[in-house]
Amino acid sequence: MEQKPARVRIIDAAHQLMLTIGLARATTKEIARAAGCSEAALYKHFPSKEELFVAVLKERLPRLNPLLKRLIETPGAGERTVEQNLTEIARQAALFYEQSFPIAASLYAEPRLKERHNAAMRELGTGPHMPIRGLDAYLRSEQAAGRVRADADTYAAASLLLGACAQRAFAYEATEGGGPPQSLDAFAASVARTLMRGVGA
C-alpha cells in the first residue's frame, strides 16, 4: 500500500494526538514521531505548532468557515430560507465545537502557553471570534436582502447561535447518560427556529 504524503501524515498524527492528549501536550517531536518523519520534515510543512493546529481545524474538523463564506457570497441561493441556512450553520458549528474543544481545552490549564497560542492566532489572522464575524456578516447580507429585520442586532444573533452550539459541546458531558436531550438535527433546527422568531423579517 502506498504511503500517504508527509503533510497528510503530519496532519493526521497531529489531529489524533491533539484529540487524545490535548494541544498543550502534543509536542512537535511527538507529532513527527507519530507521523513517521523527522521534526525537521514537520517544520518544512508547518513553521509552527499553531499553523499545524490551524491546518487540523481547517482540514480535519467540520467545515464551518467555508459554509459561512459561501452563504455571505450568495445569500438566498437556491431559494433556501434564512432558517434553513441557520439550521445548517448550527449543525456544522455544533459538530465543530464538539470536536475542537477536546483539542484546545488543555491550553486553559497553562496560561503562558495559552497566551503564546493566542498571540500566534492573532498573527495568523484567525481565532475563535472568526465564526461570529462570519455569521454576523451573513446575517447582515440577509438584512440587506430584506430577509432579516432591519432593526435586528445581527452580532447579538450570531453570538447567541454560536454560543448555544459551543455550550452544547461540553454542557452534557458530565451528565448521566452523557448526552444532550435533543439529537443534533433537532437541536440545530430548534436553535435556528427560535432565533428566527427574534430576527426574521
Q: How confident is the model at residue 150 (pLDDT cuts 50, 70, 90)?
A: very high
Domain co-membership, 100 together with 52: no
Q: Which three cell numbers stand for residue 50?
A: 499553531
Average pLDDT, the chain: 84
Query: Cα separation of 137 and 131, whole Å?
Result: 10
Pick the residue with more confidence: 37 or 102? 37
Domain co-membership, 45 together with 87: no
**How does pLDDT run across 78-108, given as a tens digit for each residue?**
678 999 999 999 999 998 888 877 777 776 7
Domain co-membership, 148 together with 55: no
Domain co-membership, 36 together with 2: yes
Helices (H), 105-181: 111-124, 130-144, 154-171
Please measure the distance between the N-terminal and C-terminal CA atoms of the chain and give it in whole angstroms.
56
Q: Which three cell numbers stand for residue 38?
A: 523527522
Give the pLDDT confidence score for residue 116 in this predicted structure.
Answer: 75
Domain co-membership, 101 together with 157: yes
Residue with cell 455569521: 135
Range with top average pLDDT, 34-43, 101-110, 129-138: 34-43
Domain co-membership, 54 together with 89: no
Query: Cα separation of 33 and 30, whole Å?
Result: 5
Domain co-membership, 117 together with 184: yes
> How much is the average pLDDT of 140-157?
94
Domain co-membership, 22 together with 109: no
Query: Cα separation of 18 and 27, whole Å?
Result: 9
Q: How confident is the model at residue 126 (pLDDT cuts 50, 70, 90)?
A: low
Q: Which three cell numbers stand for residue 181?
A: 436531550
Range of the domain at 83: 62-199
Domain co-membership, 73 together with 35: no
Q: Which of 60, 84, 109 is the last residue before a domain boundary?
A: 60
Pick the residue with more confidence: 55 or 199? 199
Q: How confident is the model at residue 137 (pLDDT cuts 50, 70, 90)?
A: very high
Burial of 176 per CB tally in 10 Å (0-12, 13-18, 19+): exposed
Domain co-membership, 53 together with 66: no
Give the pLDDT confidence score for residue 101 in this predicted structure.
Answer: 78
Domain co-membership, 68 together with 42: no
**How does pLDDT run across 42-66, given as a tens digit for each residue?**
999 998 888 888 888 778 777 777 7
**Tally of domains in the chain:** 2
> How much is the average pLDDT of 151-171?
92
pLDDT of 155 above 80: yes
